[in-house]
Structure 1
Amino acid sequence: MNKPFNVTVIVEKTGTGFSAYAKEIDGLVTVGDSISELKSNFNEVLYHHVEYLQEQGETSLKVDDFELNYVLDLEQFFEYFNVINKTAFAEQYAKVNSSLFRQYTKGLAPLSGDKLKQISKGLHKLADEINDLSFA
């Protein structure tokens, strides 16, 4: 099995929704009204890119050979997912001072790579806990 091609997809908020582009592959860009639509549109763009590469002789290349990593900055994330209580999340999952956390999410305080990893781990922990639940 071939190692997947890791592609970083940079997501940015626009006035009408979202835009995205591949950091490693020139020309792979798309837009969408929501992140869900954006991801669907990006998959379509990638499909056409692979189709083009196959026409150019890369016959063994498939869409499944690409692993997409969608990246959204912290401020845009919490603007989009505004239903998340920042204070409770900061205290329970990110283990960050809630006042400082609000500054991070508004772009008012510098955010180190280590602190960003800590917040990301907290988000993934929350997502895992939600994913493990069902309602009766």
Structure 2
Amino acid sequence: MGAVKRTLTVIIEKSSTGFSAYAKEIDGLATVGSSISELKENFNEVLQYHVEYLQEQGEIINVNDFEILYEIDLEQVFEYLTVINKTAFAENYANINQSLFRQYTKGLAPLSSEKMVQISKGLHKLADELSDLTLV
């Protein structure tokens, strides 16, 4: 039976130059990037350095022992993904009232965990549809 993975929750925040991120569970494990893709690459590098340090301290551990969960708040997602039409997304992917959805994305209306899951599923559905396409 395999070892239990350690979960790292990485909080992504928009900055004036791109994005920053930090692990909730490990103080000082942080990085930046001009895009989310770059940020994730940089975080993997920072995690590798952390694992090497732990190995030097005698721990038997490797990078694959970690499961990384990236979290970003709703307002920042749609600020970053400006190409997504909020009205069309609300209607076609999240099944949420368009006006209420715009309020959610601006932080003007409280967002329940149930609605957050609904929106997250909508984003994943959109991503799945896009990943299935090949342009010709």
User: Structure 1 length normalisation: TM-score?
Assistant: 0.96
1:74 counterpart = 2:70: no
Q: Which residue of 2 aligns with 1:118?
A: 118
Per-residue deviation, 1:14: 1.1
Deviation by residue 1:14-65 (Cα, 9 ceiling, x = unmatched): 1111110001111101111111111111111100000000000113x11011
State the match for 1:57 in structure 2.
58
Aligned residue runs from structure 1 range 101-116, under 5 A: 101-116=101-116
Letter in 1 for 2:67: E
Could you tell me how far apart the structure 2 residues matched to 1:4 and 1:111 are?
A: 30
User: For the residues of structure 1 that align with 2:26 and 2:11, how far apart are their CA atoms?
Assistant: 12
CA shift at 1:135, angstroms?
A: 2.3
> What's the counterpart of residue 17 of structure 2?
16
**Alpha-carbon offset, residue 71 of structure 1:** 0.4
RMSD across aligned C-alpha pairs, in angstroms? Answer: 0.9
Q: Distance in 1 between matches of 2:84 and 2:4?
A: 36
Structure 1 residue runs of 4 or more that deviate by more than 6 Å after TM superposition = none
Matched, 1:25 2:64: no
Matching residue of 1:46? 47
Confirm whether residue 130 of structure 1 aligns to residue 130 of structure 2.
Answer: yes
- Cα distance between partner residues in 1 of 2:135 and 2:35: 26
d(CA) in 2 for partners of 1:132, 1:16: 32
Q: Distance in 2 between matches of 1:69 and 1:82?
A: 23
* Structure 2: tracts of 5 or more residues without a match: none
- The farther-off stretch of 34-43 and 89-98 is 34-43
Q: Structure 2: how far apart are the matches of 1:117 and 1:75?
A: 15
Task: Tell me, in whole angstroms, the C-alpha distance in 2 between the residues paired with 1:135 and 1:33.
Answer: 27
Q: Which position in structure 1 is the counterpart of 2:7?
A: 6
SS for the counterpart of 1:69 is strand
Query: Quick one: distance in 1 between partners of 2:129 and 2:4?
Result: 30
Work out the CA distance in 1 between the residues paired with 2:130 and 2:6: 29
Q: Which TM-score applies when normalising by structure 2? A: 0.96
Matches within 5 A, 1:81-100: 81-100=81-100
Shift of 1:3: 2.0
Among all aligned residue pairs of Structure 1 and Structure 2, give the percentage whose two residues are the same amino acid. Answer: 71
